[in-house]
Structure 1
């Protein structure tokens, strides 16, 4: 019997998990080992071979050409990462943008999501709090087509791999290729994502190939207020929004995108996205979210602005 690529990956993952159990080792691809540690940072990558199968945790995964949006191959359509304050997910398909899982509890939550779409209603752990639509979501990587940022639409070569999970940091890598640019050329990128246990901030370091005009941004919703750093000093800038009813739960949600002034240019609002365009093959940016019901306790514009000031100062103080 011929075994498909995804089935082979799942069989291998199950074998690795079994060996870890026999030797007392940790299965770093899943969530069970840190399920009782509220301070742990979790990167969750689970896949199933068919709609009747159980999800299996993987350390790395190459998305097959057969994958279709909404087919339930992954429990929330991609890879997720969370700490005690917030959760995020990235769609592992042609959208390849990030979304927000608001958390009402610091306990790990993403590993308990098994039903595709079930996270759109408020649960004791929280819910999906962001409507992404055609935008770049929060910190999603997209492409400039003309004067506006857009989702790729097609990413023929796409994979994810977990570097660290279950302890004080979460690290994973997205590798994308075969993306068609405006001039007909193709290219791709490698993006390294990291988050610590004590901040909602995710940092992203990107290396590109093929001269694709890449961008990132954050979606703008009706009624939200735009907040920006003054840009007078320092290396980093931010563009952010706060809205008292911006979340999908119709309550307070703040989002922010941080970028280096010498690597990117803020382009304004287009395609429902406040975006920055990158002008060089290697760049770094960061993003965060704060939901009114999450453990951070940030439930006002003023509290969110204070968080932005704190995170900006900490980014300026890094030596990376």
Structure 2
């Protein structure tokens, strides 16, 4: 009888903790999470059955690939009260955008019923970017001889998330990433802050190789917006127009340190920023602004003004 009572009390305690955690998330202005299935089974490279459970860290199952259905929204997600992002934690390594129509945290309710619902308009917003074969926004790949080299050969991939009142963080570690004749380790740190759209990215390669790049996917033939100066430390590339999944206005931008960049390139699927070979941390920022956000940016002129204000802050302080 004592065991039964203890079990009931312990279950009630866990329920209270869960409700408190959910309340704390909803009262937060940033959130990062990674959610995996348990209680099901692998059938070749697909995971069948089971339910999702949030975890603090994860080492990727070797069977995992795109659309394996074992990770909720296919990888880690992070958000502010303005916008949300997710990274495809597989060979694509692309970053997608969840547009939000609310300033509340939405990731805890996204994708619980599978991958299809968030591609349609929901009360909270929707997936708004068609990544296709591109990088999405702000992700890392390698570009050599007009060819995009993906994360198809990796010994081990791990990820962990951190949440605090000041920011939320996603850390990704690729061990033994093999492209052409090179094999390196690569770490990526993605930080998001309250009341901001941007993600601060810090990428560190273990070996100095050519072609490490980031960029913006070419959804449509839109004008590539650029602002740079030899006298300034930071610059940006951006696009703006009806390039969301719903043919409404979406702006995307990447800010980069001019001293770290080899060149800008017109890739097969993306507008690319190609970094110089290095083993030092590479710092850059990326952001998206969707017209349907609460009090969102509505026009190209507003978006450019917003970007120029952020650029001025970077050039003055070396950080946003």
**TM-score, normalised on structure 2?**
0.86
The SS at the match of 1:68 is: coil
Q: Which has the larger radius of gyration?
A: 2
The SS at the match of 2:312 is: helix
What is the Cα deviation at residue 264 of structure 1? 1.2
RMSD: 2.4
**Contact between 2:214 and 2:273, CA under 8 Å: does it hold in 1?**
yes
The SS at the match of 1:265 is: strand
- Structure-to-structure mapping, 1:27-46, within 5 angstroms: 32-37=22-27, 39-46=28-35
Cα distance in 2 for residues equivalent to 1:34 and 1:232:
45
**Contact between 2:255 and 2:285, CA under 8 Å: does it hold in 1?**
yes
The SS at the match of 2:108 is: helix
Unaligned runs of 5+ in 2: 1-9, 41-47
Find the partner of 2:37 among 34, 45, 48.
48
What is the Cα deviation at residue 156 of structure 1? 3.2
What is the Cα deviation at residue 31 of structure 1? 6.5
Give the structure 2 partner of residue 169 of structure 1: 167
What is the Cα deviation at residue 286 of structure 1? 0.9
**Contact between 1:220 and 1:273, CA under 8 Å: does it hold in 2?**
yes
Cα distance in 2 for residues equivalent to 1:209 and 1:112:
37
CA-to-partner distance for each residue in 1:236-260, whole Å, 9 max, x for gaps? Answer: 11000001x2100110000001110
Find the partner of 1:74 among 71, 86, 91.
71
Give the structure 1 partner of residue 4 of structure 2: none
Cα distance in 2 for residues equivalent to 1:65 and 1:180:
15
Cα distance in 1 for residues equivalent to 2:152 and 2:216:
18
What is the Cα deviation at residue 25 of structure 1? 7.5
- Structure-to-structure mapping, 1:43-122, within 5 angstroms: 43-49=32-38, 50=40, 51-113=48-110, 114=112, 115-122=114-121
Find the partner of 1:226 among 202, 224, 227.
224
Alignment partner of 1:237 is 2:226: no
**Contact between 1:84 and 1:295, CA under 8 Å: does it hold in 2?**
no
Cα distance in 2 for residues equivalent to 1:256 and 1:176:
25
**TM-score, normalised on structure 1?**
0.86
Give the structure 1 partner of residue 192 of structure 2: 195
Give the structure 2 partner of residue 4 of structure 1: none
What is the Cα deviation at residue 190 of structure 1? 1.0
Cα distance in 1 for residues equivalent to 2:97 and 2:265:
22
The SS at the match of 2:73 is: coil
**Contact between 2:162 and 2:168, CA under 8 Å: does it hold in 1?**
yes
From the superposition, tell whether residues 34 and 298 of structure 1 become closer, same or farther in structure 2 (CA, over 3 Å). same
The SS at the match of 1:102 is: strand
Which region of structure 1 is more displaced relative to structure 2, 133-142 or 110-119? 110-119
Residues matched between the structures, number: 297
Give the structure 2 partner of residue 255 of structure 1: 252
Cα distance in 2 for residues equivalent to 1:256 and 1:319:
17
Give the structure 2 partner of residue 315 of structure 1: 314
What is the Cα deviation at residue 41 of structure 1? 0.3
